[in-house]
Amino acid sequence: MLQHQLPNLFKLNKARTPETTCRICFEVVSRAHLGLALVLSCFCFTVSQAQQESPFFRNDPSEKVESAVHSGLGELWQSDDHLELIEEHPEAKGSIEFEITLKRKGIVESVRKKNTSIEDLKFMNELQHLIFDTKFKFKLQKGNTHTMYYTYTNLKNQ
């Protein structure tokens, strides 16, 4: 593999001393390692830049993930879709406790209704779909999921 990189002195059957052979091999190996070190440093720089764009929670994700979800849901409750949903269902009063399971790239894997005081099933299902279609700004390790409970309270109609 390294033969094409060796100087002509090493390829030819001219007289060589052990010192010359060692010096030539050291130069070839040093050049190969320099290139490898350059490639690895570029790769590490690229990975560090990518991690700065989106938080990547490794050790204790629960507090940080839940904080990201709460802020994302806060934005959802201010959105036009949610406000239209409240206007369409003025009789929907009360609260709903959801179990939300999140996966790798801030995607909602499942939304389950646990406890509710709202009797309007259509409102609950549409609200569940709104949460399911939301993508949050965080990443978990590959293969990890995070389950949390969130209580929605409809204050507009109470």
Measure the CA–CA gap between 54 and 106, rounded to whole angstroms: 10
Identify whether residues 78 and 142 lie together within a single domain.
yes
Output the CA angle 44-50-52, nearest 5 degrees.
105
Tokens of 118: 């709202």
Pairing of the two strands 139-140 and 56-57 = parallel
Residues in the chain: 158
pTM here is 0.59
Please check the confidence at residue 6 and state whether its pLDDT lies above 80. no
Question: What is the residue-averaged pLDDT of the chain?
Answer: 75
Identify whether residues 103 and 133 lie together within a single domain.
yes
Q: How many CB atoms lie within 10 A of CB 65?
A: 21
Identify whether residues 104 and 142 lie together within a single domain.
yes
Q: Report yes or no: 93 and 157 within 8 Å, Cβ to Cβ.
A: yes
Tokens of 16: 């060589």
* Residue 101 vs residue 138, higher pLDDT: 101
Identify whether residues 24 and 76 lie together within a single domain.
no
pLDDT computed for residue 123 by the predictor: 93
Q: Report yes or no: 43 and 36 within 8 Å, Cβ to Cβ.
A: no
Identify whether residues 69 and 110 lie together within a single domain.
yes
Please check the confidence at residue 41 and state whether its pLDDT lies above 90. no
Where are the alpha helices (H) located in the chain, listed in sequence order? 8-11, 18-53, 61-77, 80-88, 121-132
Q: Structural domain of residue 35, as residue ranges? A: 3-53
Identify whether residues 142 and 88 lie together within a single domain.
yes
pLDDT computed for residue 117 by the predictor: 92
Identify whether residues 116 and 150 lie together within a single domain.
yes
Average confidence (pLDDT) over 68-93? 91
pLDDT computed for residue 158 by the predictor: 46
Pick from 20, 152, 129: nearest CA to 81:
129
Tokens of 26: 């050291």
**Residue owning tokens 């709202």:** 118
Identify whether residues 42 and 18 lie together within a single domain.
yes
Please check the confidence at residue 2 and state whether its pLDDT lies above 60. no
pLDDT computed for residue 61 by the predictor: 60
Identify whether residues 23 and 88 lie together within a single domain.
no
Identify whether residues 93 and 134 lie together within a single domain.
yes
Confidence of residue 140 (pLDDT cuts 50, 70, 90): confident
Identify whether residues 48 and 62 lie together within a single domain.
no
What CATH number is given to the structural domain containing 80? 3.30.2420
Identify whether residues 23 and 62 lie together within a single domain.
no
Measure the CA–CA gap between 45 and 5, rounded to whole angstroms: 29
Q: What's the total number of domains in the chain?
A: 2
CA dihedral 96, 97, 103, 104 (to 10 degrees): 90
Average confidence (pLDDT) over 71-89? 92
